[in-house]
Amino acid sequence: MAASAASSFQITIARPSIFSTKRITSFCSTKFGGETQKLSCNRLASSCHVSSIQHFWRSFTSTTQKFQKVVTKAKSEADDSKPASVLPIDLRGKRAFIAGIADDNGYGWAIAKSLAAAGAEILVGTWVPALNIFETSLRRGKFDESRVLPDGSLMEITKVYPLDAVFDSLEDVPEDIKTNKRYAGSSKWTVSEVAESVKEDFGSIDILVHSLANGPEVTKPLLETSRRGYLAAISASSYSYVSLLKHFLPIMNPGGSSISLTYIASERIIPGYGGGMSSAKAALESDTRVLAFEAGRKQKVRVNTISAGPLRSRAAKAIGFIDMMIDYSIANAPLQRELSADEVGNTAAFLASPLASAITGAVIYVDNGLNAMGVGVDSPIFKDLNIPKSTE
């Protein structure tokens, strides 16, 4: 979970978008803002309020089309006196563990918010070195505005666990990490230990989300990537998902759902997205299919991955050219608009719900259709072609 700088262009620009009529009643305070409300944290072992996402709008010279608000008609509570008027995404009574939230500015956060709006209880795994900052920011209310759900209540997280998904067990942790001051004060943060802690605290989960990636040499071309850097990207970005599912599957209820995040660089060349990260995403997608078979046969758990378009998250900004990728997507995708983190969150809520009960082993594209394009239509080469353009 050394997941931060190299996360696949999962960039965040968000605001509440899933409809919910029920306030989640867990208590917490996490690091990762709207009306500020006071929350109780005394039930949490690692005190963590979790926030939603701030509105962020950006105008682009590459298009004149305005960003449109996307609202998923999720329904966490129905009126008993009459049938629901919409097809509900109802996750009441479900418990989700989301690995990879370190702030309120990424896809993991948006997924947590969507699941919470649909009624799920939220547990979070946060990278150990980021945990203190995350919790401090939450306690000080820095994320209160982005925690606001569509019904006005605040998204809450029942508990936040320290997690480093690069290590399966304590025996795998090198001495320099064990003695690192950034890990001081935290314990039971390897994958197997976190799974065991969740089992002791709650017994079981229904939803597992992998929202983390890291490649220490992501800015290097593949030909300049070291063996160490390449293997580190694979370990943190793809095998970490195998490990999470391996250790959490025994405590997942039959009919549960597991979701990860991938990127189109797994299939297409994205110059600048290097260090083995494209290889890691390709491995993640291949593993998704195999894990869908194994987890489905063993525990009746569905396994899918979302191929998300570029998003302005803090992690993606570290790659250095995320703004360029967003502009490119707006200019070339079938839908000329900027992607919202909420749209990925909404898709995850759908995949986790009974509405997607027959979907497993799939790569679901949430990228305004950019994956379908074979060429970049903004190239001067195509200037004389009659290419459809937005009329707004």
Q: Tell me whether residue 281 is one of the annotated catalytic residues.
A: yes
Give residues with Cβ within 8 angstroms of 288, minimum separation 6. 260, 262, 303, 304, 305, 361, 362, 363
Give, in degrees to the nearest 5, the angle at Cα 342 between 337 and 343.
55
DSSP H or E segment with residue 114: helix 107-117
Q: Which of 46, 51, 211, 238 is catalytic?
A: 238
Q: How far is CA 312 from the centre of its chain?
A: 13
Q: Structure pTM?
A: 0.79
Question: What's the CA angle centered on 189, arms 138 and 317, to 5 degrees?
Answer: 55
Mean of pLDDT values over 142-152? 88
Does position 63 have pLDDT exceeding 50, yes or no? no
Mean residue pLDDT of the chain comes to 82
With CA atoms as reference, report the closest residue to 212 among 350, 10, 367: 10
- The DSSP letter of residue 334 is S
pLDDT of 19 reads 37
Q: In the structure, what pLDDT confidence band is assigned to residue 47 with cuts at 50, 70 and 90? A: very low
Query: What confidence score (pLDDT) does residue 82 get?
Result: 59
What pLDDT is attached to residue 188? 97
Selected catalytic residue, list 31, 75, 113, 281: 281
What does the pLDDT look like over 170-209, one tens digit per residue?
A: 999 999 999 999 999 899 999 999 999 999 999 999 999 9
> Given a cut of 60, is residue 46 above it in pLDDT?
no
pLDDT tens-digit series, residues 200-247: 999 999 999 999 999 999 999 999 999 999 999 999 999 999 999 999
Question: Per-residue confidence at 81, pLDDT binned at 50, 70, 90?
Answer: low
Q: Which residue has the higher pLDDT, 77 or 125?
A: 125
Superfamily covering domain 95-372 = NAD(P)-binding Rossmann-like Domain (3.40.50.720)
Ordered by start, the domain boundaries in the chain are 95-372
How confident is the model over 267-279, as a mean pLDDT? 95
| Cβ neighbours around 323 below 10 Å, total | 15
47 is catalytic: no
Q: How confident is the model at residue 3 (pLDDT cuts 50, 70, 90)?
A: very low
Q: pLDDT at position 192, please? A: 98
Which of 53-62, 169-178, 256-265 has the weakest average pLDDT? Answer: 53-62
132 and 30 in contact (C-beta within 8 Å)? no
Between 230 and 2, residue with greater pLDDT:
230
DSSP sequence for 137-192: HHHTTTTTGGGB-TTSPBP--SEEEEE-TT-SSGGGS-HHHHT-GGGTT--S-SHH
- Alpha-carbon distance 174 to 154, whole Å? 39
Of 19-23, 149-153, 303-307, 367-371, give the lowest mean pLDDT range: 19-23
Cα–Cα distance between 336 and 339 in angstroms, integer? 9
